[in-house]
Amino acid sequence: MARPKRPNVPVVIDGHEVMAYPDDTVLSVAKRNGIRIPHLCALDGVSVYGGCRLCVVDVAERHKLMPACGTAVAEDMEVHTQSRTLQEHRKLILEMILAEGNHVCAVCVSNGACELQDLAVELGVDHVRPDYQFPRRTVDASHPKYTFDPNRCVLCTRCVRTCSEVEGAHVWDVAGRANGSYLIADLGQPWGEAPSCTWCGKCVAVCPTGALAWKGKAVGEMRHDPNLVAFLTSARDEGEWLDRETM
């Protein structure tokens, strides 16, 4: 279904009346209208996952909180994104994400340019209430160009979706279950030995933390480029190969 020329679905977000396209989600229409909803796993250009739950919002007349990234807009929908409860929920969710892995900013390649770190600052996470799990995870530096440090992985599956939907190789997937989940390359082999990897580096570009990084980067040197995927998937239609702003 082609999009109408102009957005034609009226939605109210935090008291602002905005117009959405029929195929919009709450998150996408909020983003276009400059209303900030914190999110981590959502990434423009790939499918919706709805795993991090940081983008939970309150939709009037629905009895539970909805993830903004996976909630389709409806006419005259009334959405609240910033209530006290929501902020509390988001904070706790982020604290749980931090407690689940081994996130040590001081020694991380992404320090200073990390979406997880930025979110913690934004949501005011100054300490973590759940007990740290300190999982034992081994770094995979077998790839000649990139490294994978599962200690910093938040299982947002951006890399999984990007590799599968944009590159088409589907090297990554999530194995195991619940808090024992982990990222695998092909049949759980070291990344460098995974035959389907094309070395394209898009997974590295979209990683929100320092889990996937260029080899040889020191603390705080890694810069990711999560907008790359949205650009790649729309550039042909938009005809904007030359005027992309690079980071």
Partner 1 sequence: MAATATDSRAQQDAHPSGDERFALLDKALKRARFEQDQLVELLHTAQEVFGYLSNDVLIYLARQLRLPPSRVLGVASFYHLFTFEAPGDHICTVCLGTACYVKGAEEVVEGTAQALGVPAGQTSDDGRLTLWTARCVGSCGLAPVVVFDGTVLGKQTTDELVTHIREVFAAEDAAAEEEEAG
Q: How far is the CB of 184 from partner 1 (least distance, A)?
A: 6
Closer residue to partner 1 (CB): 136 or 177: 177
Nearest CB to partner 1, comparing residues 13 and 169: 169
Nearer to partner 1, 106 or 178 (CB): 178
The CB-of-197 to partner 1 minimum distance in angstroms stands at 10
Min separation Cβ 187 and partner 1, Å:
5
Contacts to partner 1 by CB under 8 A: 164, 169-177, 184-188, 196
> How would you classify the pairing of strands 9-13 and 77-80?
parallel
Angle ∠(104,228,102) on CA atoms, nearest 5: 15
| Spatial distance between the Cα atoms of 205 and 219, rounded to a whole number of angstroms | 17
Q: How far apart are CB 138 and partner 1 at their closest, in Å?
A: 17
Distance, CA of 165 to CA of 232 (rounded, Å)? 11
Nearer to partner 1, 36 or 170 (CB): 170
Q: How far is the CB of 161 from partner 1 (least distance, A)?
A: 12
How many CA atoms lie less than 13 Å away from 63 in the CB half-sphere? 0
How far apart CA 75 and CA 80 sit, in angstroms, is 15
**Which CB sits closer to partner 1, 20 or 183?**
183
SS3 237: helix
**Helices 84-100 & 115-122 angle (0-180, nearest 10):** 140
